Structure 1
Amino acid sequence: MSDLDLQADLKLALDVADVADAFTLPHFVDRDFTVDWKTNQTEVTEIDRQTETLIVNSLVAQRPDHGTFGEEHGLGGNETSLWRWVIDPIDGTSGFVRGIPVWASLIALTHDDIPVLGVVSAPALGFRWWGGVGLGAHVSVRGAERSISVSSVTALGDSQVCVTHNAGWDRLGLTERLVSLQQQARRSRGLGDFWQHMLVAEGAMDVAVDAVGVAPYDLAAIQPIVEAAGGTFTDRHGEATHLHDTAISSNGHMHDKVIALLS
């Protein structure tokens, strides 16, 4: 993987993120959409569906040999290709529909189910993050770009952690352990979705524990950015994958301790 040249794919992903942002942000501001409910009791809007169509069409036009997989429309493009774009058109739809600006379009490129490139664009926040194999990790804040890296905090008692609790942690019987993690940290927050992991990549947070029940399209763009920033990204058992239903990112120093607590 270290020999991959992903610069052209990164440019494409950033260009497509521009297209997505230009569509999603005005609808968020104008509140001109309706809300439906999926069978899993999560919100969806026509903006989610239309944004995914825009992203997929833009990617397939430039990479006709690649496959795509999105939250709203599933598989597309060349379904047999080892190269696949994984898309969450609006990560944080529950915030989007309530006027909370913590939402983003997630665009990842995977090869044989391994994420190699990710773009996370949050236009309502004015932030965009990207990174991947051989690309480093970067953030753009209202047009000002800089490289990012994880923190150097080594002790849980000195750390800032972000925990997203949901009923899935209750079903696993691990809620008390989540609380224990928060109590052991210097400070705990609950920011959720993509943002908690991007703050780990930036070095602002030291550990982020996601909700139980996340899907590949929630995580595929996150993993390569965190890893390119020098961090560690795994499921709650310590496996470095975006394909399972839990996700923990960290600066790496306390990762084993967090996994031991939550696995």
Structure 2
Amino acid sequence: MSGDHLPQGLEGDLALALSVADAADRFTLPHFEARDFAVDWKTNATEVTEIDHGAESLVVDLLTTERPDHGVFGEEHGLAGDADSEWRWMIDPIDGTSGFVRGIPVWATLIALTNRGLPVLGVVSAPALGFRWWGGVGLGAHLAARGVNRTLTVSTVADMAEAQVSITHNAGWDDLGLTDRLVSLQQRARRSRGMGDFWQHMLVAEGAMDVAVDAVGVAPYDLAAIKPIVEAAGGRFTDRLGEATHEHDTAISTNGLLHDEVVAILAP
């Protein structure tokens, strides 16, 4: 989609998304703290809880009520609302469920708005961490944490030898035969960590990390809210081959200055 066709005036949609994130936080955080849920397993061998289902139902109900002319797609329940609308919300009720069920606070509700398939607005709310990020087209990128709000800008590190990188290795990288490339990337960087899920990409948007490489096997609902925030902060977000999309099963975010080098290192 060219810049001429990007939607403007998303402030009302952002306000709605932030309000919906508030409601989701009020639902999810008490259950995380109380540990009052059972864990089931999906066919892809990932965890799911009734909290995932309940949070998605809550978010979808609020969005379809306030935007009846929009579609809404959630990880757990699929498509609701207007299936033919050029506007579609994409929801991951709890990104990082595996951490959620183990008592690890690195999980978040992801809310994205797409226009003709392009993510234009994202909200990432991680109440157990006390952090929330948001941004999009014409909105900039922002962080609220412990009563302080600030605008986000990616780092200016241009030398991989000075870079902080986050790498999420999984069996998918082994299957691609590219695990040695991940190791090479880590060895070239100043420091490597494995933050995982949404958090690594939000740290890139903050300028705290310079590169984040996600696991193989991510889905569009994992990435749709992340992409517009990283880009609004001045970074780049692509798949492992350098295509700027949230619809493939790999994801790389960087400060932009290091992006081509990272893609080249990970090239098959």
Same fold, TM exceeding 0.5?
Answer: yes
Q: 1:20·1:51 contact (CA, 8 Å) conserved in 2?
A: yes
- Structure 1 residue runs without a partner (length 5+): none
Q: 1:2·1:134 contact (CA, 8 Å) conserved in 2?
A: no
2:79 paired residue number: 75
Q: Where do residues 88-237 of structure 1 align in structure 2 (5 Å cutoff)?
A: 88-237=92-241
Distance in structure 2 (CA, Å) of the matches to 1:2 and 1:106: 21
Query: Helix, strand or coil: the match of 1:19?
Result: helix
Is it true that 1:34 corresponds to 2:38 in the alignment?
yes
1:58 paired residue number: 62
In structure 1, what residue type is equivalent to 2:108? Answer: A
Distance in structure 1 (CA, Å) of the matches to 2:6 and 2:145: 28
Q: Which runs of 4+ in 1 moved over 2 A?
A: none
- Structure 2 residue runs without a partner (length 5+): none
Distance in structure 1 (CA, Å) of the matches to 2:14 and 2:173: 35
In structure 1, what residue type is equivalent to 2:233? Answer: A
Is it true that 1:256 corresponds to 2:236 in the alignment?
no
2:8 paired residue number: 4
- Residues 74-129 of structure 1: CA deviation (Å, up to 9, x unaligned): 11110111100000000000000000000000000000110000000000000000
> How many Å apart are 1:143 and its aligned residue?
2.3
Distance in structure 1 (CA, Å) of the matches to 2:101 and 2:14: 29
> How many Å apart are 1:2 and its aligned residue?
4.8
In structure 2, what residue type is equivalent to 1:259? Answer: V
- Residues 13-39 of structure 1: CA deviation (Å, up to 9, x unaligned): 000000000000000000000000000
2:247 paired residue number: 243
- Residues 146-200 of structure 1: CA deviation (Å, up to 9, x unaligned): 1011000000000000000000000000000000000000000001000000000
1:49 paired residue number: 53
Distance in structure 2 (CA, Å) of the matches to 1:46 and 1:175: 35
> How many Å apart are 1:262 and its aligned residue?
1.1
> How large is the Cα RMSD of the aligned pairs?
0.7
In structure 1, what residue type is equivalent to 2:60? Answer: V
- Residues 40-59 of structure 1: CA deviation (Å, up to 9, x unaligned): 00000000000000000000
Identity of aligned residues (%): 74
Distance in structure 2 (CA, Å) of the matches to 1:245 and 1:36: 24
> How many Å apart are 1:144 and its aligned residue?
1.2
TM-score, structure 2 normalization: 0.97
TM-score, structure 1 normalization: 0.99
Q: 1:103·1:124 contact (CA, 8 Å) conserved in 2?
A: yes
Q: 1:149·1:202 contact (CA, 8 Å) conserved in 2?
A: yes
In structure 2, what residue type is equivalent to 1:210? Answer: D
> How many Å apart are 1:261 and its aligned residue?
1.3
Distance in structure 2 (CA, Å) of the matches to 1:242 and 1:110: 11
Distance in structure 1 (CA, Å) of the matches to 2:147 and 2:14: 17
Pairing partner for 1:25 from 29, 51, 59? 29
Query: Helix, strand or coil: the match of 2:157?
Result: coil
